[in-house]
Structure 1
């Protein structure tokens, strides 16, 4: 019933490491989930450098979903959103026809502390790839939750376990945060054709095998999956209906290669609006020369 096991690949993004899981050569997507990064865990001291921040950059054809276990991120984008995200909350940004945003670690820089969370990209169905861009934030108290027998569960997005998240999605999917006490058991039902589970912390046992932090299990369809926590654990469940293959280049995701080329040209030519509250710098297209220094920044 386990079709594939993916080990995260650690990548340094400039003073900050992430564990990249999706896309993977043998498995580009799980349902509409086309990108999955584990941010951290990392410990920051007060006053760390601004090179850790993610400067303004563009997206098309997808939604981003940021979810934290520890720490905080300040989001600013070109539709006017300016939002801090804290553990258990949801930042859902729909790029659609095009959006730019930045992610900065302002509270951590001021106070120090740990950063630990997941960022996903979710491909939009073909009919919604050019939808109007937008942003929504949901507090932890808005999300359906459940506790029993050493299991604490929160439905982040989509529908699962008879519940529906208030986060507006564009295709059938599920994304769930499980926290398991040692010895606790929980079952993933067989209701979606594509399903996976990522161990964000601890060790779990599935089908007589143990899996540890940084590993994703991708499951065959049609069978429920039983998890047993060997240690206290955090497991992220994800999947849904497939939306078809996608091209991915830099921060652009789309069903059309030509549309990605157009987005690259638009970004290179400065035709994509920067966030109003963060427009003094940006990340150039990979391979392009860096932008000239802005004497006003």
Structure 2
């Protein structure tokens, strides 16, 4: 299956490509949401308006990874953490957490503009109500694989014989790959669901070509991918955890839990970040 991301605008110049969920393919393994934001550069006067104000999550882990730029994360656990390229912020919402993502000029737009990959990973049912946690992983925790024409950083899980130090709740993998034109590589075929997203360039597999903003989804198997051009890719996949309900920032195996989360946010029962509590995003609708 070839999925073309939907263009979206989070407001105030922050544009995204929304890859998952897709009408005909809600998830890939446990990955239930995937946004590619930017690259974008904003003038100093526009930065404050583009901030992502405090908002809640339940039932998932978020993984944030930057290709360029910088973001300041604050959450209701009291964590304040900058994230830069080649690092991973892994936040597990469990029973409920809130966080904000703030930008600063000029650091947030260094290196060609802010470019963010953000993934939501659905938690197994047994972990949906776990205690919320946050962990920052530096580049030393994310192994790099170098082969002729290929550079791969393993962000989570295991691929190409290397395992990330990022702690996950279910079997999955995610990697950032740069390929030179004409280079081939083969997906491990270990996981029953896997996909290749093209951020830049173009790749071919099985007679299909994927271009920027497209996700090529595979079933289990050692599928070969060929770079038609110099390309930047995100690889992802894993073991399915079962269907999930999604409303706004809430993910759950149970629709009634989504309704509870709506009420909790309206009533202020999900705390705000102690260092960022003067404003928040209200429940849609």
Q: TM-score range by the shorter chain?
A: over 0.9
Counterparts of 1:196 and 1:182, CA distance in 2: 20
The equivalent of 1:272 in structure 2 is: 270
CA distance in 2, matches of 1:12, 1:228: 31
Q: 1:75 aligns with which of 73, 76, 82?
A: 73
Deviation at 1:226, TM superposition (A): 1.2
User: For residue 14 of structure 1, what is the aligned residue in structure 2?
Assistant: 11
- On the 8 A contact 1:89/1:140 being kept in 2, the answer is yes
Unaligned runs of 5+ in 2: none
Which position in structure 2 is the counterpart of 1:120? 119
Helix, strand or coil for the counterpart of 1:47? Answer: helix
Could you report, residue by residue, the CA deviation over 1:248-293 in whole angstroms, capped at 9, with x for unpaired residues? 0010000111111111101001111100110000000001xxxxxx
1:147 partner SS: strand
Q: Do the aligned residues in 1 keep the contact of 2:69 with 2:108 (CA within 8 Å)?
A: no
TM superposition shift of 1:207: 2.0
Instruction: Give me the whole-angstrom Cα distance separating, in 2, the residues matched to 1:183 and 1:77.
Output: 43
Change (3 A) 1:161 1:282: same
Tell me, yes or no, if the aligned pair for 2:70 and 2:108 is still in contact at 8 Å. no
Alignment CA distance shift 1:190-1:41 (3 Å): same
**Aligned-residue RMSD, C-alpha:** 1.4
Write the distance in 1 (CA, Å) between the matches of 2:202 and 2:147.
19
- TM superposition score normalised by structure 2: 0.96
Match of 1:62 among 60, 63, 69: 60
**CA offsets per residue over residues 39-98 of structure 1, 9 Å max, x none?**
112222333242211000000000000001011111000011101111111000000010
Structure-2 separation of matches of 1:47 and 1:158: 40
Q: 1:210 Cα deviation (Å)? A: 2.1
**TM-score, normalised relative to structure 1:** 0.92
User: Mind listing any 5+ residue stretches in structure 1 that lack a counterpart?
Assistant: 288-297
